[in-house]
């Protein structure tokens, strides 16, 4: 009897959250990382370096916080990426 309950649980879980994962993948493909990073880095003193780092973060996280600085709470993945030295990777 327990295995049947597990199967039902997995089916319900997939029906509930599987569609959310699919829609998240669709949303990430709509993001223009180049445009978002150009806007994010427009006031940077080193725009090419900023855009390169931002582009890497955008590819991994599928989001870029709005504005030229801050607003990291809108994209937690972007805020938590770090370099090997422990510094924030994303501008």
- Angstrom CA distances, 49 to 16, 23, 56, stand at 41, 31, 11
Q: Assess contact for 75 and 63: CB atoms under 8 A.
A: yes
Give the pLDDT confidence of 2-14 residue by residue, as tens digits. 565 655 555 655 5
Give the pLDDT confidence of 34-44 residue by residue, as tens digits. 999 999 999 99
pTM of the model: 0.64
Delimit the domains of the chain by residue range: 1-30, 33-91
Low-confidence ranges of the chain (pLDDT < 70): 1-29
């Amino acid at each position: 009897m327990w295995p049947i309950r597990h199967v039902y649980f997995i089916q319900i879980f997939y029906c509930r959250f599987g569609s959310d994962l699919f829609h998240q993948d669709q949303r990430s493909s709509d993001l223009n990382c180049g445009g978002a990073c150009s806007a994010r880095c427009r006031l940077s003193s080193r725009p090419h370096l900023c855009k390169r780092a931002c582009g890497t973060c955008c590819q991994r996280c599928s989001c870029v916080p709005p504005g030229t600085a801050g607003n990291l709470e809108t994209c937690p993945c972007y805020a938590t990426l770090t370099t090997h030295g422990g510094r924030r990777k994303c501008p």
